[in-house]
Every structure is written in structure tokens, then in C-alpha cells.
Amino acid sequence: MAPFLAISLCLSIWSTEANAARPRSQQPGATIVINGDPVGSVRARHDEIEEINRLGQRVEIRRGTCMSSCTMFLGADNVCVSPQTSFGFHGPYRFGEKLSQTEFDQWSRIIASYYPAAVRDWYMTKARYKTYTATRLSGAELIRLGVPRCP
């Protein structure tokens, strides 16, 4: 993939709405709007969410598909989702390498720690066991499980 195309795809993930901050914004209290996010490192996402919480920022997951580590944004202190957004959950894995059972359990717990209780229970009993395919839930289903709905 050409570097320009890769950059364009990455930039299209985030909203350009006038009131939305850019990803990794250092603006306290900013609103970050996510309109889709296909993939990411659990470690990097953890760091990003910690920074968002430290700065008191709001995360709005508005539309598109929020896959993989994007679902960890559900653990931001101030988050909401839109009913039409699609979320894809799967268990932890390392590209090209199988995790040991201990690593699998450890990373599953880390990921699940970012979910509200009802989502965490579902993830730990069902979704984490799919590692190369995703189990999808809609924003509407997550709202029914206790995730705040975006206004």
C-alpha cells in the first residue's frame, strides 16, 4: 500500500467535525469522535486511553466499525456510543505466534478490564475465544448492556 494511501486511510478514521479534537490531542476536556477504527495494539491503546482519561477528554464512538483494540475505548472515563456503530470483539493474539494459555488469560483480562461489567462478563465467557474472527455487537446492543448512548 502506498504511504499516501495508508496515511489517508488512517486519517479518515477520525472525525473532522469542527468541535472534535484530533487523536492524541493534548487539549484538556476535548471531545474525540471516532467514526471507525479497524485495528491497533492493546498496549498502545491502553496508553492512549490513560492519556484521554488524564486530560478529561470525552470519546464519542459515532459510526462505522470499531474493531479489535478500538473496543477498549469503552473503558474511557467519559464515553458514549451511537446505536448504528458496529463493534468487533476477539481474543488476544500475536501475529504469527500462538499465545501460551497464561499469556492468553492475562491479555484477555487486560482487554476486558476496559469494558463495563456486563460486556466484560460476555467477553470473558464468549468473545475472547475467537481470535482470528470477530464477534460483532451493534452500538444498540452495547447500550442495552449499559454503555452510555451518544446524544
pLDDT tens-digit profile of 67-94? Answer: 999 999 999 999 999 999 999 999 998 8
What's the CA gap between 49 and 71, in Å, rounded? 11
- The residue ranking higher by pLDDT, 139 or 22, is 139
Q: Is the pLDDT at 6 greater than 50, yes or no?
A: no
Reported as a pLDDT band with limits 50, 70 and 90, residue 36 is confident
Highest mean pLDDT out of 11-15, 22-26, 141-145: 141-145
pLDDT at 7 over 60: no
Residue 20: pLDDT band with limits 50, 70, 90: low
Helices (H), the chain: 3-12, 42-54, 101-112, 117-125, 139-144
Output 9 or 22, whichever has higher pLDDT.
22
Q: How far is CA 145 from the centre of its chain?
A: 16
Cell readout for 49 is 486511553
